[in-house]
Chains A and B, each alone.
Chain A
Amino acid sequence: MSILTHIAGWPLVAALALVFVPRNYRVIIRAVALLATFVSMVLAIKMFCHYGSAEAGPSGYRFEQQIPWVESLGISYHVGVDGLNVGLILMGAIVAFAAALCSWEIQSREKEFYILLLLMSGGILGAFASLDLFFFYFLHELALVPTFIMIGVWGRGARRNYAAFQITIYLSIGALLALIGLIALYLEAGANTFDIPALIKYAKVNPLSADAQHFIFPLLLFGFGILVSLWPFHSWAPLGYGAAPSPTAMIHAGILKKFGLYGLIRVALPLMPQAAHSWMNILAWLCLGNILYVGWVTMRQRDLNLLIGNSSVAHMGFIFLGIASLNLIGITGAVFVMVAHGFLAALTFALSGYIYQKTGTLEMSELGGLCRKLRFVGTVLVMAAMAGCGLPGFANFVGEVSVFFASWTVFPVVTVLAVWGALVIGGIYMTRAVRNILHGPLPERYANLPDAGLWRKLPYALLLASLLVFGCFPKLLTDQITPDADKIVSMANPMPDQGRVTVSQIETPGAPN
């Protein structure tokens, strides 16, 4: 069995096992969940380290495994990694473990919570590993539905019911549009298989007709776009994250949201190059909506969670911009930001969860001076905020700067405007949040706030370390992304691409590499 099956399988099997554990064995329930996500993370790290030396399987992916499932439809359980998803799986497994560690804030119905958490983690890791369109969608849907239930049951705030229904309906529309697109893609391709490598191979000889491409591509673009909170379909995200318990927000904002982007890169670009080209212009302008408009909205937020939620929507704009530029640096940068933002979103939601737990509020006007009491948490929050506005040394910088280099050649106007959004707007809201929460006078009632204990520091340290490692040694990731991003780019651009530059030439200036 492939190591990927184990990475996704451990949480899923643990979820099943928890069904049979009596609900009052709280320690055991928690231990099982932690163990499963920990094993999954260790395996993911092992997979990442051995990626370079692993041999490619029959379809050119590493750690491949294929088992027929429904032969008459050409559906098989097929997993494998290449440069595009190796980083995402590593990020997903680390975030899932961190989210399980942060779940101490859940005090009621722990059993159900951990079952849903494990379903989410296992489902989405499986979706990223999957090379079969059906399982790709199926496992994501399996991971998505627990989100809705978790927001409804364990959510916070008066508007959690509204938020739960809004996110359910919004994301279901997105998922169903994408489903229609995927089914139509399967039927139009005519290869009678849901296997992505087989479809791509088939499409090289028999490309999809232009009509079909122009019908299917928007379905996938907007279906996946809604899942990723592409402007103007983003309004579910801040509210939903604001109401979600923090482990759910960590997994959703960190991992699940990358599914739509990954789907665009993995499926839509290589199979429908013509339609992709005609839509990329529009996509570039839409992502300005994410970066500038949502950036402005973020500046006005008074609640820390809404601020983080909005800023995570704004960050999606960079990834879309990278995809829209359709060149090697852009795609590489987009994948890099996906990984980096996963760590960052999880880290910020984990920290805001801690602050909420201890103070009972996230209104920034109620907070202040917390750095004096929460030395560790406060420091990490400052670093996370700096990573969020793109400080060199953190992984986000590498990805975002590559995206700008890439998009400059294609959409100069958009790039100029986006850079403003990235540097100025991001800087304003992040530093303002830091000032309001961590500096200034400490309100009386917070005089006895305890800083995080050793166990609770672990998830923050883990996520921060990942951000720093990939920020200082981006080569670890870019070396693996580039060859496969190159394949995607060459399929998406039937014309020969002039003047290709590799990412290693534009590495972080100050990074010790």
Chain B
Amino acid sequence: MSQKKPEKLVDENNIRLDGRKLNDIRPVKIEVGVLSNADGSAYIEQGKNRILAGVYGPREIHPRHQALPDRAALRCRYHMAPFSVQERKSPAPSRREQEISKVMREALLPSVFTEYYPRTAIDLFVEVLQADGGTRCAGIIVASLALADAGIPMLELVSACAAGNADGRLILDLTDGEDKNGEADMPLAYMSNSNAVTLLQMDGMVTQEEFEQMVNMAIEGCKQLNQIQKEVLKTKYLNAKEADTEKEEEAKEEAA
């Protein structure tokens, strides 16, 4: 079932297999408030990535010994559905998923005012329904939106984007194929107003110069995604507000 390695990831005109230029991000479709039970939720489609995030809380914490006396505990679970990848993935959490849950939590924490809700839990669940490279970045994007949708006070939204190296050229926002067959992959999460890098990982081999360029590229990608995230959130709440005013007017008319 394994897919063949393509001959080239980037052609002589610097065009990638999916038609993007080197520093293009993939088009994304994001929705906020997609689950009725969760206090906040968001969904993203990015390439073949399909990722859903839901937030519960602040709520009572169980088990109780996990409570923090001076702030809320942000708990994060990144999980991949068994059908999300080519070969079925066992639903039990893998070491990779455990690690991503940890770095994802640490990427989001600097943005959340957990000190407003001592002794409570904010539970964040990220489910990867289909994976196509960069799922931890896309996961952070929807997770941050879900936290905002839950009305949890935040410094700002966290964005995330990977930069990498394929066929000797630096590329932005890697697909699964580019990650697997390329030379390096470096996911980075960023808070645009604070110039704060909150997640940074890399595997592959890069020189000092390539590394600095990749950090710059990833930050530019994050800034673009940050704009999109803000638009999505604004649109949703503008629509909600309009719907509310319409309802109010209808009610007034009926009363009259």
Q: Do A and B bind each other?
A: no
> Interface residues, chain A, CB within 8 Å of chain B?
none
